[in-house]
Amino acid sequence: MFPKRLVEGYREFVAGGFVRERQRYEGLAGGGQNPEIMVVGCCDSRVSPEVIFDARPGELFVVRNVANLVPPYETNGQFHGTSAALEFAVQVLEVKHIVVLGHERCGGIRSFAEKRAPLSSGDFIGRWMSIIAPAADTLEDPGSQPSDEYVARLELAGVEQSLANLMTFGSIRRRVDGGRLKLHGAYFGIASGRLLVRDPVTRSFAPPA
C-alpha cells in the first residue's frame, strides 16, 4: 500500500499550496522551467534546499546525493547521476549559479572519517565517499575516534573539494572564466538553522551579509 503519510501530505498540498501556486504551476507546465540557481545538496532528509531557502516551484534546480559531493569529470564509468544533472543545468538550463550545500552531522562524512566497514559487497557508500579523500588529506589524521570538531572541518573541506571538482568540467570552467556562471559553497547547521557562506577569496565560511 502506498504510504499513508504521502497520501495525506499530497491532499494537503493540493488543497493548499497547489491552489495558491496554481497559476505558477500552469506557467511552468506550459513554458518549462528556467531556474537560475542549481543546488547540489545532501540526500539527508533534514536538509531540503527548497525548505532551507524557502523556494517556490521552479526556482531551484536541485540534485541530491550522499554528502552533497560533486565527482571529478570522467567518462569511463557508466552511471553519472550528478554529472548528468550538472550537464543539463549548465548546458540546457544555463543556470547562473551553482551552490554546493554542505551541512552539519552528515552521516556520509562521518562514515568516511570513522573508516566504517562496507554495508554490502558493493560498498556503494564507500566508493562514493572516496571522492572526499583529497580533502581529508589536507587535514590531520583523526585517529580511530574522530572528534565532532574534526568531522565538521571535513564537512567544510568536502564542500571545498566539490567546488574544485566542478572546475574539472570543461563546460563549467568556460562559463566561470567567461563570467556567465558563479560557484558558491554553503553550510547549514541543522540544530541552529544557521547558514554559512564561503568567501571565494579567503575560502572561509561566515553568515551571509
Q: Domains (ranges, CATH) in the chain? A: 1-31 (no CATH), 33-206 (3.40.1050.10)
According to the model, what pLDDT value does residue 77 have?
Answer: 84
Tell me the pLDDT tens digit for each residue of 2-32: 999 999 999 999 999 999 999 999 999 999 9
Q: State the Rg of the chain over Cα.
A: 18
Tell me the pLDDT tens digit for each residue of 85-114: 999 999 999 999 999 999 999 999 999 999
Q: Which long-range contacts (CB under 8 A, 24 or more apart) does 22-26 make?
A: 24/56, 24/57, 24/58, 25/57
- Of 134, 47, 131, 152, the residue nearest 82 (C-alpha): 131
Full-model pTM: 0.96
| Residue stretches of the chain with pLDDT short of 70 | none
